[in-house]
Structure 1
Amino acid sequence: MIRTSPFNRLWRWLATGIFFIFFGLGGLVLSLLWFTLLGVVVRDPKRLNRLTLNTIKNSFRLFLNLLRAVGVMDYRIEGAELFTQDKGCLVVANHPSLLDYVLLASCMPRCDCIVKQALTKNVFVRGVIKSAGYLINSGSESLLQDCEQRLSAGGTILIFPEGTRSVPGKEITLQRGAANIALRTGCDIRIVHISCQPPMLTKQGKWYRIPASKPHFVITVKNKVVTQDFMAASDVSPALAARRLTRHLHSALIVKNNEK
């Protein structure tokens, strides 16, 4: 790791704080002004949803490019073109940083995200969540039904099966939610591996704890997992299939090479 000068680190600290404020205010502006205006002008629900998701994607892309331009971080996305094949697909990724969702949503043609229920109370993002029609993880049976409807309509659902950001240096632990959704709906799973060196905006790392060098994200879009392969045997119960699929996802997500 190449350490940067104290001035560079101070600049990245200042710029990170400014962009945190910018991100929150941007969410408010989109919710209160732009999405409200779209709702008045565009009457077709499908077109409105498409325009809303495209606005979020382009806003995230602008946000990331500005972070890169001012030297806060850098990133590389490998295999993003594979996302064009993922209608009716579940996208599963590991979760090392607060920026993971922003990075993926900026390059996916469509991103129907599953978000924590607590975020619906966040004044800066709740309007965006509502306007985008994101699925709320309330832990109820209705979430599976909502996922099934969204996938059957050609949506692409992004989920982080860890449930929260991982802790650097510790092995990740997956919940079975992603496997249950895939087995219930019969959809395939696109694997995405995310790495960030040095770690940035981790679960235990506050925004103001700036790494000694500029972080670099690498997002690797990998092959699909055929969910039906885990239900092929006649003696496999749904619970056993979910455990097997979750173990397979765990193995795929901890691989740190660039093979697809």
Structure 2
Amino acid sequence: MWSFFLIYFKRFFHIVKKMLCFVLFGLGGIILTFLVFPPILLFFRNQEKQERVLRKIIQLSFASFTKLMVITGVLNIHLHGVEELRTAESKIICANHPTLLDVVFLIGNVKNANCIVKSELWKNPFVKGVISRIYIPNSLGSEEMLKECGLSLEKGHNIILFPESSRTIKGKPVKFHRSASHLALATGYDILPVHIDVVWPSGLGKEDKLLSSPDNGIIDFVLSVREVLTISKYEKMERPIAARQLTNELLFVIFARESL
């Protein structure tokens, strides 16, 4: 009887704390949009400086939000090999995608992070001024997308991709699209694989209810950085074969140790 009430108590307060954190996240976004970003766009006229400062602010904001969720006891996050992530330069960072917070964890630990984001954000009057300067819209054609990503990598930026395209559905086979492999093969830049593991239910997965919670009231995340996948060994292969084999290797490397 008492164990039931204890579990209920932990779940209830987890949900309350999680909702408060997301409210603060939203308020933080409003503050950045109206009070922080406009002066940067006004005083830093050089586009490259604008990009660098904006990326750094977003990185620090996401890292701070992660710390807030840890301090409040909403989640624990265990990092393995994260130094490789923090010092990465001109890498295509590929990760599985179990929850809403994956991109927050990655951007919070990656300097000069670039992403491919929904083109609808370009129409949002509040964020389009910043989004259009530092991220790539998903509405671009394949050739233009490769060009934009290649230019970003040449500048030393790291591009974060989720080869699944959408969040993982628990219990269903994971399938990777070949977009990351095609990008790596077209540009010649290496892939840095990352595996993200989480206790279910987290209230953050694709089919989770937002108000669900683990029995202990804390979501446990493990973020593990794998060894870099070098592209040079695929250079002499025909592109379709190379893309297929590289995608299979990426899938294996990200998930291989999950069962160890």
| Structure-1-length-normalised TM-score | 0.89
- Asked whether the 8 Å contact 2:78–2:221 carries over to 1, the reply is yes
Q: What residue number does 2:247 align with?
A: 246
Counterpart code for 1:252: V
Q: 3-state SS of the aligned residue for 2:227?
A: strand
- Where do residues 107-126 of structure 1 align in structure 2 (5 Å cutoff)? 107-120=109-122
Aligned partner (choices 203, 218, 229) of residue 233 of structure 2 = 229
- Asked whether the 8 Å contact 1:193–1:256 carries over to 2, the reply is no
Deviation sequence 1:206-230 (CA, Å, 0-9, x none): 3222232311111111110011212
Counterpart code for 1:114: I
- Where do residues 198-213 of structure 1 align in structure 2 (5 Å cutoff)? 198-200=200-202, 201-213=204-216
Deviation sequence 1:185-236 (CA, Å, 0-9, x none): 011000111101134200111322223231111111111001121223xxx3
Deviation sequence 1:55-89 (CA, Å, 0-9, x none): 11111111111111111111021112113553211
Which region of structure 1 is more displaced relative to structure 2, 107-116 or 249-258? Answer: 249-258
- Where do residues 83-232 of structure 1 align in structure 2 (5 Å cutoff)? 83-120=85-122, 129-131=131-133, 133-138=134-139, 140=141, 141-200=143-202, 201-213=204-216, 214-232=218-236
Q: Partners of 1:257 and 1:96 in 2: how far apart? A: 14
Q: 3-state SS of the aligned residue for 2:65?
A: helix
1:117 Cα deviation after fit: 2.6
Deviation sequence 1:142-170 (CA, Å, 0-9, x none): 11110011111111111001001001122
Unaligned 5+ runs, structure 1: none
Aligned partner (choices 54, 57, 60) of residue 58 of structure 1 = 60
Cα RMSD (Å): 2.2
Which region of structure 1 is more displaced relative to structure 2, 202-211 or 49-58? Answer: 202-211
Unaligned 5+ runs, structure 2: none
- Asked whether the 8 Å contact 2:97–2:167 carries over to 1, the reply is yes
Q: Partners of 1:45 and 1:258 in 2: how far apart? A: 46
- Asked whether the 8 Å contact 1:168–1:199 carries over to 2, the reply is no
- Asked whether the 8 Å contact 2:114–2:135 carries over to 1, the reply is yes
Q: What residue number does 2:26 align with?
A: 24
Change over 3 Å in CA distance of 1:33–1:217 after alignment to 2: same
Q: 3-state SS of the aligned residue for 2:228?
A: strand
Change over 3 Å in CA distance of 1:195–1:128 after alignment to 2: farther
| Number of residue equivalences | 254
- Asked whether the 8 Å contact 1:16–1:207 carries over to 2, the reply is no
Identity value in percent: 33
Q: 3-state SS of the aligned residue for 1:26?
A: helix
- Asked whether the 8 Å contact 2:87–2:110 carries over to 1, the reply is no
Q: What residue number does 1:10 align with?
A: 12
Q: What residue number does 1:39 align with?
A: 41
Q: Partners of 1:204 and 1:5 in 2: how far apart? A: 22
Change over 3 Å in CA distance of 1:122–1:76 after alignment to 2: farther
| Structure-2-length-normalised TM-score | 0.89
